[in-house]
Amino acid sequence: MDAKLAVAQRVDALADELEALSHRIHDTPELAFKEEKAAAWLAEFLEKHGARVERGVGGLPTAFRATVDGTGAGPTVAIMAEYDALPGIGHACGHNVIATAGAGAGAAIAAALGTVPFAGRIQVIGTPAEEGGAGKVKLMEAGVFKDVDAAMMIHGRCGTQVWRPTLGIIKVKVEFHGQAAHASSWPWRGVNALNAVIQLFVSLDAMRQQLRPDARVHGVITRGGEQANIIPEYTSAEFYLRATTVDYCEELLRRFRAAAAGAATATGCRVTVTADPTVHEPLRPNATMAGLFARNLELIDFPEDPDDGQAGYGSTDCGNVSQRLPTIHPYIRISPDGVPGHSRDFAQWARSPLARMGMVAGAKALALTALDLLASPDALARAKQDFAKGEPA
């Protein structure tokens, strides 16, 4: 179809501008819900190329929605853009590439076609706070995805794979309350909350041996005491409990609570365990949309890579979107094989010539797949059937 060719060519024409924007976002890492500059730059870029932009949608100041209308009433296909960074290590998840691939797809459609030549509309939804804030869940609760029929995004990785599972997560905070005392002259009068948190880590390490191989339990101590001459009276830690199903995440939480209670008993502390009510859900696959995306990758000569099986799985708030409507979350190569996400290495690759290639390919494949879904009511109907028969989390 001519529209697809025109849009792909427009992505190429926009590539320098997109790369500059990607680098600007990379050089200005902003944390969850504070992505003011990135959101403003992306919204401005989409507006400049002809999309209709609403800022601060869903009650989140750093969310936005850019719409390119079609020829009349019809379905809505959304392309999601993330742009938050990680504390301390910047754009080590490459969300600058997600942002510019998504915005590039929308801008290329608007600039090349003016109006989408089919009924319906394409939207780029700027979704804040993927890293820790579950921004997409907040946007769904606020109704931003209410009229969306299908959603998609890309994520950078050390290989191109249209489908890879992601894990559900229950986030949990644990606090131990002990009693302060002089650590040298009256240690026996203290109740040591640091010992409790250390005991919890030890218990979890023992528990891990009896977990399913793809479950993950990992945490950091957020308060470990104040000064070495005071028996710590208060400590806290945060953990992620991850598994391939929400059911097993809940099983992990049950066992976590038992381990925390045991650590409290052993040390004489009081414990409180607070589970975050927002549960990250695993991705629900969508074979129809994945198939369209894979064909578009072939069309633009950016082939999928075999999964070398060297890495485990991450998680994403896109999983929650995928449990509500047909969704895909393909991975696009922006680094050589074997570079882990959330590493300083990956942060550098997210600003490299490979990242530019991934961004351009991602923008094209997203735009072409969105057009496919609007061009063919059949394809969209099949995507909805796939969704309906998918296993709920």
Q: Does 334 bind Zn ion (CB under 5 A)?
A: no
How far is the C-alpha of 213 from the C-alpha of 232, rounded, in Å?
Answer: 35
- By CB under 5 A, how many residues form the interface with Zn ion? 1
Nearest residue (CB) to Zn ion, 4 versus 138: 138
Nearest to Zn ion of 53, 93 (CB atom):
93
**Selected binder of Zn ion within 43, 46, 93, 154 (CB under 5 A):** 93
Judged by beta carbon, residue 97 or residue 360, the one nearer Zn ion is 97
Shortest spacing between CB 341 and Zn ion, in angstroms: 6
Kindly state whether residue 97 participates in binding Zn ion, applying the rule CB under 5 A: no
Nearest CB to Zn ion, comparing residues 75 and 102: 102
| Contacting Zn ion within 33-62 (CB under 5 A) | none
Q: Which residue number, 93 or 194, has a Cβ lying nearer to Zn ion? A: 93
Instruction: Say whether residue 174 binds Zn ion (CB under 5 A).
Output: no
In the complex, what is the shortest distance from the CB of residue 155 to Zn ion, in angstroms, rounded to a whole number? 6
Q: Report, in Å, the least distance between residue 148 CB and Zn ion.
A: 21
Does the protein bind Zn ion through residue 153 (CB under 5 A)?
no
Stretch that binds Zn ion, among 49-57, 86-94, 207-215, 257-265 (CB under 5 A): 86-94
Q: In the complex with Zn ion, which residue's Cβ is closer, 93 or 354?
A: 93
Q: How far is the CB of 259 from Zn ion (least distance, A)?
A: 26
Applying CB under 5 A, does 169 fall inside the site for Zn ion? no
Residue 98 C-beta: closest distance to Zn ion, Å: 7
CB of 311 to Zn ion, least distance (A): 13
Least spacing, CB of residue 316 vs Zn ion, in Å: 7
Q: Using the rule CB under 5 A, is 32 a contact of Zn ion?
A: no
Pick between residue 93 and residue 111 the one whose CB is nearest to Zn ion.
93
Q: Which residues bind Zn ion (CB under 5 A)?
A: 93
